[in-house]
Amino acid sequence: MPLVIAIDGPAASGKGTLAKRLADHYGLPHLDTGLLYRAVALALLDAGLSLDDREAAARAAEALDPEKLDDPRLRERAMGEAASRVSAVPEVRAGLLLWQRRFAADPQGAVLDGRDIGTVVCPEAEVKLFITASSEERARRRHRELAGRGETASFAAILADIEARDARDAGRAAAPLRMAGDAVRLDTTELDADAAFDEARGIVERTRGSAR
């Protein structure tokens, strides 16, 4: 039976790093679904269109080119904020849903991380993780990440951005960020990357074992 691991959580919680490591460990393809929304936002900005143009955003989602998911601009801080805005558009989420489900249907399984994987995209996933951390710790991580890339931003500004994104992601009408009822919560506030991976891998193994 294919192993599908659904990983959700707020920005900078460490879910992306965990998803990549779990995918490598189990030899599964990985999809950072946040890149899809960033790509939609970037397509609008490149075309000189407003992020609030719902019709244009829906068209961009339908025409998404997976080859453009490697664009380094998608990793920039501003694109995270832009993606949060377009992800609140129901038509965008609907346009990307089938794309994500096709990815998850890989015969060998898959690891997907995002905001609504366990609740909407892959509600039947064998393993569901909800990764979280305090907003202050997530802001510190993002601050270190940006500094490592040579980008400058104050800790206060990053914290404000994270809290605003949390509120928008949890409060949107379409597929809000929430923990699936059968997901396992993992708080990484006090964990380094290796410890978080060990905890996550243990959850996967225990969940698979109980399913058998």
Q: Tell me if 72 is assigned to a ligand binding site.
A: no
Q: Tell me if 16 is assigned to a ligand binding site.
A: yes
Output the six-digit token pair for 197. 């991976």
Contacts for 30 with CB less than 8 Å, ≥ 6 apart: 19, 20, 23, 110, 111, 112, 113
Q: Tell me if 15 is assigned to a ligand binding site.
A: yes
Q: Tell me if 63 is assigned to a ligand binding site.
A: no
Q: Which amino acid, one-letter code, is at 189?
A: T
Output the six-digit token pair for 56. 């244009």
Q: Tell me if 90 is assigned to a ligand binding site.
A: no
Consecutive H or E run containing 80: helix 77-86
SS3 88: coil
Q: Tell me if 17 is assigned to a ligand binding site.
A: yes
Q: Tell me if 154 is assigned to a ligand binding site.
A: no
Consecutive H or E run containing 30: strand 30-32
Name the binding residues.
9-17
Name the binding residues for ATP.
9-17
